[in-house]
């Protein structure tokens, strides 16, 4: 029996305190497989089948013995009657016939008695085998219970480790929030806008696997509303985005953060929609140049799409920060990461702190994809020293 549970392994986080960086150890969940014995079910099943088989054979032999004994009783009765008739016979012919019949009955009686003896011998052997299998089954059941108790102890130990990790992670997230309020970040608050605009592009082509993008933006909106500086973040959404909608929307909204949500390809493309609602890929170079051509206010681009780390890395030639995924990312992981990233920004966390908290959120939820998102910064800019939302 295979038991799966997320347990802990050491990692290292960066912390920014009093103008300096420090390194500290923490834990992150790791999916492990614990092999549990689950008892020797094959042995138990084997003994149970043997007991069932021997029980049937014992019953069959008892039935045969009973049948042969009934034959014996009938033959004894026939012999007794025939003996009486012989004693009363007066003619030689009649006597000879009856004596011949008496010989036959005695042979039949002897045959029945031999069969009874043979069946009883087999019965004794089968009953002994049945008792032996019952003893073996009782022993196997006791051993099985002992092994099961050992397995239950292993599971309890793993679950205790997991609970301790969750508690520790919650404390870490609170610590990160509190430190953000106390850390003297190197920023000029006067230069921060009173409100930042997040432009959310969502594309879910009908010929692709359908993503839960509506749930992602719902969770992002809820987290922003629950943040301390919710009025400083304005979320603008564009749904069913076609490739030719991008420039129009960027010019209309002039956003500070651009968020791409949907499908990505292993060829560094982002999948938008054509006029028929089907997939239309846009190359990495086209996306990079799109942002470059409209990047007057853009500080950060978040690619919440699969295989997008290369786009993010190249974009930092034109914007301060970009986040991409170094492999595929699941629906739930994308939703949890994005919601908690914007939540942290809403508490005036630095870009680095918001990114770290979003990864911690994945760990708390037990989603083993915290190593998928990657944060890239423009050369010379420290993500731990920059906040985007004015406190």
What SS3 class is residue 326? coil
- Residue 244: partners with Cβ closer than 8 Å, 6 or more residues away: none
pLDDT at 373 over 60: yes
Instruction: For residues 304-330, give the mean pLDDT.
Output: 96
Assign 137 a pLDDT band (cuts: 50, 70, 90). confident
Please give the pLDDT value at position 311: 96
| Mean pLDDT of all residues belonging to the chain | 85
What SS3 class is residue 223? helix
For residues 100 and 16, the model is more confident at: 100
Please give the pLDDT value at position 377: 96
Please give the pLDDT value at position 155: 81
Is the distance from CB of 387 to CB of 351 less than 8 angstroms?
A: yes
**Which residues are 258's β-sheet partners?**
199, 301
Instruction: For residues 55-80, give the mean pLDDT.
Output: 88
Distance CA 282, CA 156 (A): 50
**331-346 and 351-364 helices, crossing angle to 10°:** 140
Please give the pLDDT value at position 136: 87
Number of other CB atoms surrounding residue 257 within 10 Å: 23
Lowest mean pLDDT among 131-135, 289-293, 372-376: 131-135
Structure tokens at 315: 């974009």
Please give the pLDDT value at position 39: 56
For residues 383 and 85, the model is more confident at: 383
Q: Where are the alpha helices (DSSP H) in the chain?
A: 41-88, 92-182, 213-225, 246-253, 284-293, 309-315, 331-346, 351-364
Instruction: For residues 229-245, give the mean pLDDT.
Output: 94
**Which residues are 178's β-sheet partners?**
none
Domain positions in the chain: 41-145, 186-385
At 151-204, the pLDDT tens digits run 888 888 888 887 787 787 778 777 766 665 555 444 456 678 889 999 999 999
For residues 39 and 74, the model is more confident at: 74
In percent, how much of the chain has pLDDT > 90? 50
Give the strand pairing for 270-273 and 263-264: antiparallel
Is the distance from CB of 278 to CB of 207 less than 8 angstroms?
A: yes
Distance CA 195, CA 193 (A): 5
Residue with tokens 């003994």: 47
In percent, how much of the chain has pLDDT > 70? 86
pLDDT at 59 over 80: yes
Please give the pLDDT value at position 179: 62
Distance CA 221, CA 210 (A): 21
Nearest to 359 by CA among 317, 367, 331: 367
Please give the pLDDT value at position 178: 67
pTM above threshold 0.85: no
Is the distance from CB of 213 to CB of 224 less than 8 angstroms?
A: no
CATH class of 186-385: alpha beta
N- to C-terminal Cα separation, the chain: 53
Please give the pLDDT value at position 244: 93
Please give the pLDDT value at position 58: 87
């Amino acid at each position: 029996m295979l038991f799966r549970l997320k347990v802990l392994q050491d990692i290292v986080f960066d912390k920014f305190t009093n103008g300096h960086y420090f390194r500290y150890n923490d834990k992150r969940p790791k999916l492990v497989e614990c092999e549990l014995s689950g008892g020797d079910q094959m042995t138990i099943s084997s003994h149970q089948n043997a007991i069932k088989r021997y029980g049937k054979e014992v019953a069959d032999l008892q039935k045969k013995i009973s049948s042969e004994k009934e034959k014996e009783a009938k033959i004894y009765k026939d012999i007794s009657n025939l003996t009486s008739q012989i004693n009363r016979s007066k003619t030689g012919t009649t006597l000879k016939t009856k004596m011949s019949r008496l010989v036959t009955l005695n042979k039949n009686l002897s045959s029945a008695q031999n069969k009874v003896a043979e069946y009883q011998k087999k019965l004794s052997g089968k009953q002994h085998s049945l008792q032996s299998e019952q003893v073996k089954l009782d022993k196997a059941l006791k051993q099985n219970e002992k092994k099961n108790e050992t397995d239950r102890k292993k599971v309890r130990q793993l679950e205790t480790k997991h609970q301790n990790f969750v508690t520790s992670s919650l404390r870490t997230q609170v610590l990160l929030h509190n430190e953000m309020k106390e850390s003297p970040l190197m920023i000029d608050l006067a230069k921060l806008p009173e409100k930042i605009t997040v432009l959310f592009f969502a594309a879910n082509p009908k010929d692709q696997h359908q993503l839960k993008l509506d749930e992602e933006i719902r969770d992002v909106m809820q987290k922003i509303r629950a943040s301390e500086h919710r009025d400083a973040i304005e979320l603008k959404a564009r749904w069913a985005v076609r490739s030719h909608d991008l420039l129009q929307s960027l010019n209309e909204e002039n956003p500070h953060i651009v968020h791409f949500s949907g499908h990505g390809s292993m060829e560094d493309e982002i999948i938008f929609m054509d006029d028929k609602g089907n997939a239309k890929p846009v190359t990495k170079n086209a996306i990079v140049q799109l942002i470059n051509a409209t990047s007057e206010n853009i500080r950060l681009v978040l690619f919440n799409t699969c295989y997008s780390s290369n786009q993010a890395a190249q974009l930092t030639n034109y914007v301060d920060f970009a986040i991409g995924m170094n492999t595929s990312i699941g629906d739930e992981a994308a939703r949890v990461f994005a919601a908690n990233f914007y939540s942290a920004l809403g508490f005036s966390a630095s870009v680095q702190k918001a990114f770290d908290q979003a990864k911690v959120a994945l760990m708390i939820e037990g989603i083993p994809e915290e190593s998928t998102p990657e944060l890239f910064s423009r050369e010379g800019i420290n993500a731990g020293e920059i906040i985007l939302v004015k406190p």
